[in-house]
């Protein structure tokens, strides 16, 4: 089992690292996470639920936290209303993507990913409240980036993508990466300083 040590890092960086590590292992495999950020204790269980991963074990040990997390198949929702909201969001995002493909020649070239759908929605709400939601479009995450459900913010210009990514990161949103939309559908990550 791989050990991911996030000691010395603070929210949202530990969740971002955990999310990236889980995406690199098959469904059903586990990782062990070590953290000392006080926010990690409350954040990890809700994050695991939101992303459809399983928090197998959580304990405090020698002044830090140890969590065992199993890679899940993505969020499915517990209650019927959760499932309906989740499915309707997915339908809405896919319709938006198809409309973009059909009616617009200038499509997003940069995609910002998040540790969970809920985190992307929280960021979108915050940006709407700040009236900063005009430069991006919310879309479904391409299966080449992440095979399960998710959302991304699509932007046309590199400087807008980097600026928005940094703004969200500075305001404690758990953004993961910026991916470049390429013709081969490989979506390489943009190196961010």
How far is the CA of 91 from the CAs of 1, 38, 51, 78, 128, in angstroms?
36, 37, 18, 19, 21
Joined together, the tokens standing for residue 84 give 């309906």
DSSP 189: B
The tokens 């759908």 sit on which residue?
Answer: 117
Work out the angle at residue 63's Cα, subtended by the Cα atoms of residues 62 and 68, and round it to the nearest 5 degrees: 75
- pLDDT at 49 (0 to 100): 78
4-45 tens-digit pLDDT: 999 999 888 898 899 889 888 998 999 999 999 988 887 888
- pLDDT at 183 (0 to 100): 83
Find the mean pLDDT for residues 105-133.
Answer: 91
pLDDT above 70: residue 193 = no
As a whole number of angstroms, the distance between CA 36 and CA 6 comes to 7
121 by Cβ neighbours in 10 Å (0-12 / 13-18 / 19+) ranks as middle
As a whole number of angstroms, the distance between CA 126 and CA 45 comes to 23
- pLDDT at 78 (0 to 100): 66
Q: Decide if 149 is catalytic.
A: no
What percent of the chain is modeled with pLDDT above 90? Answer: 49
Per the prediction, the chain carries an average pLDDT of: 89
**pTM recorded for the entire structure:** 0.75
Question: Which residue among the candidates 5, 9, 10, 11 is catalytic per the annotation?
Answer: 11
Taken in order of first residue, the domains within the chain and their CATH numbers are 2-70 (3.30.110.40), 80-180 (3.30.70)
More confident residue, 143 or 65: 65
């Amino acid at each position: 089992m791989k050990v991911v040590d996030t000691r010395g890092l603070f929210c949202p960086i530990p969740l971002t690292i955990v999310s990236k590590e889980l995406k690199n292992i098959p469904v059903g495999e586990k990782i062990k996470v070590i953290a000392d950020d006080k926010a990690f204790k409350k954040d990890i269980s809700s994050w695991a639920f939101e992303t459809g991963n399983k928090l197998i074990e959580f304990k405090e040990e020698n002044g830090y936290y140890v969590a065992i997390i199993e890679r899940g198949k993505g969020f499915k929702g517990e209650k019927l209303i959760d499932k309906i909201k989740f499915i309707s969001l997915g339908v809405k995002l896919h319709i938006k993507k198809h409309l973009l493909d059909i009616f617009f020649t200038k499509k997003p070239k940069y995609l910002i990913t998040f540790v969970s759908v809920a985190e992307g929605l929280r960021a979108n709400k915050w940006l709407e409240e700040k009236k900063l939601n005009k430069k991006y479009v919310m879309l479904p995450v391409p299966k080449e980036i992440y095979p399960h459900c998710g959302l991304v913010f699509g932007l046309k210009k590199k400087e807008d993508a980097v600026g928005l990514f940094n703004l969200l990161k500075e305001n404690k949103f758990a953004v993961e990466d910026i991916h470049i939309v390429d013709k081969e559908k490989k979506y390489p990550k943009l190196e961010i300083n």
